[in-house]
Structure 1
Amino acid sequence: MTKSFETILSDIKSCQVCADQLSHGPNPVVSVSEQSQILIIGQAPGTKVHHSGIPWDDASGKNLRKWLGVTDEQFYDPQIFGIVPMGFCYPGKGKSGDLPPRPECAPLWHHQLFDHLKSVKLILLIGLYAQQYYLGDKRKKTLTETVENYKAYLPKYMPLVHPSPRNGIWMRKNPWFTAEIVPALQNIVHQTIASK
């Protein structure tokens, strides 16, 4: 029997599947509604989001909202944006930044959630993990090439680089992203919101 949307969301928020692997303990972060128009699939919460419980409540989130051309109110309206990371909990610290999202999350929860998300018109795949999982062998050789060739994945998916301030060097090396991709992204997002 198919679980209700509310039950799945409740199960995710109380998930303990990899509790013993999480240095900071589980605190699943997700924000989505059955009416969500645009789905944001990122990596996993960082420490700030782990503590606040608010997705993208950090410098990366500010950059992302700027790229999308939306207000905080729009971004945090689950009827507009569903926010479903590859890993729902903060995975802990690695040698160079945060560890990858836990591999258990997406296979366990995504399909259960997405079976209920009939209003989604666009899925933003932010970063390598989301692109590997959802684009598979349709990805280009590098994340940069995948993002540059975003039109190949529309209208369903739009791959993006992660908006972390740590990606400043990448942004400077790839000025086409700000010049071409960001305006295209804003146009698609605004059209999607307007068509609600």
Structure 2
Amino acid sequence: MISADRKNNLVPLLEQVRACTLCKAQLDPRPVIQASPEARLLIIGQAPGSKVHRSGIPWDDMSGDRLRQWLNLDKEIFYNPQKVAIVPAAFCYPGKGKQGDLPPPKLCFDTWHKRVLAELPNIELTLLIGQYAQALYLNTPSKTSLTENVANFAYYNKQALWPLPHPSPRNRHWIANNPWFEQSLVPQLQNALAKLALS
């Protein structure tokens, strides 16, 4: 049972996040976030892509389609904030770089993450998608690779954390070169999510 105070704390906080313009000198701010105190699954990715920036809907792109396949969740559940919280490392599209999107500005994480996560008391499982999210939340040496993080998923599961590669089409070579991910990790992740009884 979520207290009225908890709900009352998160609503104005989300309003502040969605009105944030801290990075307006560097980018076009349009924060994208989904959260509710009742949520039991937390998804922390890197930052919205250009399509999500336009729509304002998290994971509203090909990456999101693949992620939902991995999780075996339909859109009705995925976009229900009372079941799934989506709190990226940065809430706005960071712009295009030479090799894909630019990294998420850490100012966003430093400003908002602790405050938002403090209002999500029922999280039972957290997905850390991509190297930026993992660098923020996994206590690993700086030279640890994404492949090492994902391969050590059994260790992080003890902390209810699941490090995942980014489901972007740009990562198709990584997925092809690491067949164990979809053959072994994904089924175990789906089993763990089934135990949350989100549907």
Q: TM-score range by the shorter chain?
A: over 0.9
Q: CA deviation at 1:140?
A: 7.7
The answer to whether 1:180 aligns with 2:184 is: yes
Given that residues 37 and 193 in structure 1 are in contact (C-alpha distance below 8 angstroms), is that contact kept between their aligned partners in structure 2? no
* Most deviating of 140-149 and 54-63: 140-149
Alignment of 1:98-113 (within 5 A): 98-113=101-116
Contact conserved, 1:29 with 1:55, CA < 8 A, in 2? Answer: yes
SS in 1 for 2:85: strand
**Pick from 170, 190, 193: which aligns with 2:194?**
190
Equivalents in 2 of 1:90, 1:115: separation in Å? Answer: 24
What SS class does the counterpart of residue 157 from structure 2 fall into?
coil
Give the CA deviation at 1:172: 0.7
| TM-score, normalising length: structure 1 | 0.94
Establish whether residue 12 from structure 1 lines up as the match of residue 33 from structure 2: no
* Distance (Å, rounded) in 2 between the aligned partners of 1:162 and 1:39: 15
List per-residue Cα deviations over 1:32-64 (Å, max 9, x = no partner).
111110000000000100000000000000000
The CA RMSD over aligned residues, in Å, is 1.7
SS at match of 1:20: coil
CA shift digits 1:129-178 (9 cap, x unpaired): 11010013268821111101101111421100000011111111000001
Identity of aligned residues (%): 48
- Bigger CA drift: 73-82 or 54-63? 73-82
For structure 2, list consecutive stretches of 5 or more residues without a partner in the other structure: 1-5
Within the alignment, does 1:88 sit opposite 2:70 as a pair?
no
- Structure 1 unaligned regions, length at least 5: none
The alpha-carbon deviation at position 115 of structure 1 amounts to: 1.0
Kept in 2, the 8 Å contact 1:41–1:86? The answer is yes
**Displacement after TM superposition at 1:182 (Å):** 0.7
Residue 193 of structure 1 and its aligned partner are, at CA, apart by 2.4
Q: Does residue 1:115 correspond to 2:101, yes or no?
A: no
What number of residue pairs does the alignment pair up? 192
Q: Residue type matched to 1:190 in 2?
A: A
Distance in 2 (alpha carbons) for counterparts of 1:134 and 1:61: 21
- Aligned equivalents of 1:182 and 1:139: distance in 2? 26
